[in-house]
Amino acid sequence: MARERRIGRREFMKQGAALVAGAAFPLVIPSAALGLSGRPSPSNRLTMGVIGTGGMGLGDMRSFLWHDRVQVVAVCDVDRPHREEAKGVVEKHYADHAPSGGFKGVDAYGDFREVLAREDLDLVCIATPDHWHAPIAAAAARAGKDIYCEKPLTRTVAEGRALSDLVRRTGRVLQVGSQQRSDRRFRLACELVRNGRIGTLQTVRVTLPAGATTGLHPAEPVPEGFDYDRWLGPAPWGPYTKERCHYNWRHQWDYAGGELADWGAHHLDIAHWAMGLDRSGPVEIGGTAEWPKEGLWDMPVHFEVTYRYANGVTVIATDHRSDRSVTFEGTAGTVAVSREFIRTTPESLAKTRFGPGEVRLYESTWHHGNFIDAVIGRRDPVAPAEVGHRSASVCHLGNIALRLGRKLRWDPARERFVNDPAADRWLARAYRAPWRI
């Protein structure tokens, strides 16, 4: 029965492709759509919509364009120039790789809901500003799409809990864009720690970029083609200025978590991975920060956040002028790792050979490819939703401690502060209507 139905779907798609006159159109078969049944054979492609096509979205999209199991069929951005640029990139890529040298098979949207409503779509890549990650990812999961979502996965702890539960409940695959998990150096560093090669882990030092400041900016006219209200989406309303929007959103609490979340989502994620606590969290958080004295951007410029974990390990996240690394200090050695290097003490640790009885971590060498493998095999990718939620949470907890200016105790199982209802209120933020997660 299944085979017959698959043939039926293939025929349907061939007809569909034939409708695209004059276009070189690869055989594109959505896996769970079209109102028919069947699953993609290995020769078929998974269809993807890219939501958020600024710098990061274009980067992700280019990587997926090179994946021979993926066909990008939709791009979406609230900023028209962004989505038109993305559309052009897709068309040029497929045209360059088509015998006819032409391609017209990608649609551009300004509203992500139209993308998610497409039944011929299997996957979405979400690379919007942070405040949109969770609402779009949740809507995508409910629409039956598998999701590649940029980090940090969420804006609040509550969003993360809801999204992770939803992804589990719906059986979707979600990969967070924590691509350091697909970097051999970071994996090796974590395996060295997990297998006790530096003795008992005592301290993890994480260095991140410093924050930034700007002035008070008067309201500006919203640029033509920019759907500003949708850009704000669930976030509180504020007058338009370019200092608020593209790229700059990361420095503002309404949309993001500053550098502690922007880079912390990478490096604190690695710290969690190495400790085997990537589905848990710290038990105590405290720190100090230097805040902007005035201006639109309201995240710490300089900061030091200290996390204590139940295993006795202390993780210290500080800003640094140039260093972006994670250093694990144990009783018998150290491992320092970044995107440029891995350094060990003693040096010989870098050439460690692991035996079959030792802890080996999930091996992924291509983050985007690992997502597709997970989609096909219906298994967890290397950075699944729960891990992304916990890695984002530790950033949010740091920011809450800095904002409240006091030490906080955290229950990672209940995901609530310990006897601290005032702090608990910072775990969620109400959305503007009508958005919800």
Partner 1 sequence: MADLVGSRLILAFAVLLAARAGAGSPPPFTDTVTGETLAVTGTAADVPGLAALLADPGRADAARRALEGIPGREATPVLVAAAASSPGPGLAGIANSLGERRDPAAVPVLVRLAGGSDTLVAACAAGSLGRICDVSAAEALTSLRRKAAREVRSAVTDACLECADALRGRDPRRAGKIYAALWSRTGPGRVRAAALLGLAGTGGANSFPTILKALADPDAAVFGAALRAVRETPGPVPSESMKAAFRKLPPGDQGLVVEALSRRTDAAGRGIAAAAAGSRDEAVALAGLRALGRIGDTSSILLLAKASATLTGEARDAARASLDALPGPLIDAAMIALLKPSTAPRVRTELIRSLAARNALGAAPALEAGTRDADPGIQLEAAKALGILAPATGLAPLLALVLATPDDEVRGAAAKSAAAIVGGVRNPAAAAAPVLEALAGAAPAARIALLSILPAAGGAAALAAVEREAGNADPAVGKAAIRAMGDWPESNPRAYGFLAATADSHPDVTRRVLALRGAVRLAGLPSDRAVQDTVGMFAFLLSVARRPEDCRPVLAGLGRIADPGALALASSKLEDSAVRDEASSAVLAIAKAIKASYPEEAAAALDRAVRAGMQGKPAEEAAKLLADLRKLIEFVTAWEVAGPYRAAGVSDDALLDHGFPPEDAKAAVVEWKRVQSDAESESPWQVDLSSVIGGEHCAAYLRTWLWSPVKQKARFEIGSDDGVKVWLNGEVVHANNARRPVADGEDKADVKLLKGWNPVLLKVTQGDGGWGASLRVRTRDGKPVEGLKARTKPE
Residues binding partner 1 (CB under 8 A): 1-3, 5-6, 31-32, 37-42, 142-144, 165-166, 168-171, 216, 218-219, 236-239, 254, 353-357, 360, 376-379, 421, 425-426, 428-436
Would you state the structure tokens that stand for residue 54, as one six-digit string? 């600024």
With respect to partner 1, which residue has the nearer C-beta, 313 or 387?
387
Collapsing DSSP to helix, strand or coil, 109 comes out as strand
For 208, what's the count of Cα atoms within 13 Å in the CB-facing half-sphere?
Answer: 30
Helices (H), 145-263: 157-170, 184-194, 228-232, 258-262
- Give the H/E segment covering residue 85: helix 80-96
With respect to partner 1, which residue has the nearer C-beta, 17 or 376?
376
Collapsing DSSP to helix, strand or coil, 418 comes out as coil
The one-letter amino acid code at 46 reads L
With respect to partner 1, which residue has the nearer C-beta, 36 or 212?
36
Collapsing DSSP to helix, strand or coil, 303 comes out as strand
With respect to partner 1, which residue has the nearer C-beta, 39 or 407?
39
CB of 275 to partner 1, least distance (A): 22
CB of 114 to partner 1, least distance (A): 15
CB of 32 to partner 1, least distance (A): 4
CB of 305 to partner 1, least distance (A): 20
Task: Report how far residue 62's alpha carbon sits from residue 73's, in angstroms, rounded to the nearest whole number.
Answer: 13
CB of 40 to partner 1, least distance (A): 7
Would you state the structure tokens that stand for residue 197, as one six-digit string? 């090669």
Task: Report how far residue 343's alpha carbon sits from residue 350's, in angstroms, rounded to the nearest whole number.
Answer: 7
With respect to partner 1, which residue has the nearer C-beta, 194 or 267?
194
Would you state the structure tokens that stand for residue 241, as one six-digit string? 């200025």
With respect to partner 1, which residue has the nearer C-beta, 56 or 143?
143
CB of 333 to partner 1, least distance (A): 19
CB of 269 to partner 1, least distance (A): 22
CB of 378 to partner 1, least distance (A): 4
With respect to partner 1, which residue has the nearer C-beta, 92 or 360?
360
With respect to partner 1, which residue has the nearer C-beta, 122 or 150?
122
CB of 86 to partner 1, least distance (A): 27
Cβ–Cβ < 8 Å for 211, 402: no
Supply φ then ψ for residue 338, to 5 degrees: -145, -175
Task: Report how far residue 397's alpha carbon sits from residue 254's, in angstroms, rounded to the nearest whole number.
Answer: 16
- Give the H/E segment covering residue 55: helix 55-65
The one-letter amino acid code at 362 reads Y
Collapsing DSSP to helix, strand or coil, 344 comes out as strand
With respect to partner 1, which residue has the nearer C-beta, 101 or 434?
434
With respect to partner 1, which residue has the nearer C-beta, 88 or 171?
171
With respect to partner 1, which residue has the nearer C-beta, 37 or 202?
37
Would you state the structure tokens that stand for residue 99, as one six-digit string? 């015998």
Task: Report how far residue 244's alpha carbon sits from residue 247's, in angstroms, rounded to the nearest whole number.
Answer: 8
Supply φ then ψ for residue 378, to 5 degrees: 50, 55
CB of 259 to partner 1, least distance (A): 22
CB of 380 to partner 1, least distance (A): 9
Residue 172 burial class via C-beta count within 10 angstroms: exposed 0-12, middle 13-18, buried 19 and up: buried
Which is nearest to 70 in space by CA: 332, 418, 392, 373?
373
Task: Report how far residue 313's alpha carbon sits from residue 306's, in angstroms, rounded to the nearest whole number.
Answer: 10
Would you state the structure tokens that stand for residue 373, as one six-digit string? 């493998």
